[in-house]
Amino acid sequence: MNEAHQDRVAVFIRHGQSEWNRTNRFTGWTDIDLNPAGIAEAERAGRRLAAAGYTFDEVHVSLMRRTRQTAEALLAAGGWRGVPITETWRLNERHYGALQGMVKQEIFAAWGEEKSRRWWRGYHEAPPPLDPEDPRHPRYDLRYADLAPGLLPATESLHQCQQRTLPYWLETLQPRIAEGRRLLIISHGNTLRGLVMHLDGISPEAMEHVEIPSGVPHAYGFLPDMQITSQEWLA
């Protein structure tokens, strides 16, 4: 880590592996726990960050258990105690609509491989939405009871996921970093793809080929005006 920029740091990390990740099952807003391999990934990430000299003032996670579990295992392994954890729905994974709970082979069989790949790798196209009466719809989840119904997605493209996430980056996270706070942001593959796309100026076409590995910290250093001065993957 560049010592000159320790005071303005954001470290992004995708949560550790869950059983649904291992079996290629689309998770989205389904609340799945980490498996033992995912806990181990989080612990390794914590040790790497500590060895590299990182410290944190606060942690931000989604409302999914797998991000909170990643945070707790990572902080314990790195020896950081008492770091506050903030949860927000805006860091939730992209909502995969009717694809949630399905494996890739089932999706290929139902809609064809070409269309299916555009849904999960492309930027603009959203998968088929959940029916409002589907019990998987977030309107049945008490964690979202205080949100306006119009904010709750029944499906999302990567673009829509990015539009939902960016206000939290711009209005909450970015000002804290500019003030000198050191943040750890634990979220999901597509949520972080959208943030990295924004920070690095990646085009929608190029973003189709960018993958965020689970459990690998991605650190950015910033100047007070939020110009990026450094970035590194702690693989």
How confident is the model over 88-144, as pLDDT tens digits?
A: 999 999 999 999 999 989 999 999 999 998 998 899 999 999 999 999 999 999 999
111: Cα separation from own chain's centroid: 27
The pLDDT, as a whole number, for residue 6 is: 64
Q: What share of the chain is helix, strand, coil (3-state, %, to 5)?
A: 45, 15, 40
Rounded mean pLDDT of 31-59?
97
Which three-class secondary structure state does DSSP give residue 87? strand
Residues 6 or more apart whose CB falls under 8 angstroms from that of 161 comprise 93, 94, 95, 190, 191, 194
Half-sphere exposure for 7 (CA within 13 Å, toward CB) = 6
41 close to 65: Cβ distance less than 8 angstroms: no
In angstroms, rounded to a whole number, what is the distance separating the alpha carbons of residues 55 and 33? 26
Which three-class secondary structure state does DSSP give residue 33? coil
Rounded mean pLDDT of 147-154?
94
Which range, of 2-6, 20-24, 149-153, 197-201, averages the lowest pLDDT?
2-6
Global confidence as pTM: 0.95
| Residue 59, H or E segment | strand 58-61
All structural domains of the chain: 3-95+157-233 (3.40.50.1240)
Residue 3 pLDDT > 50: no
Question: How many C-beta atoms lie closer than 10 Å to residue 81's C-beta?
Answer: 7
The pLDDT, as a whole number, for residue 235 is: 85
Rounded mean pLDDT of 17-34?
95
The pLDDT, as a whole number, for residue 217 is: 98
Q: How confident is the model at residue 69 (pLDDT cuts 50, 70, 90)?
A: very high
Residue 4 pLDDT > 60: no
DSSP state of 17: P
How confident is the model over 74-87, as pLDDT tens digits?
A: 999 999 999 999 99
User: What positions carry a catalytic annotation?
Assistant: 15, 93
Rounded mean pLDDT of 30-58?
97
Residue 1 pLDDT > 90: no
Residue 54 pLDDT > 70: yes
In angstroms, rounded to a whole number, what is the distance separating the alpha carbons of residues 120 and 202? 17
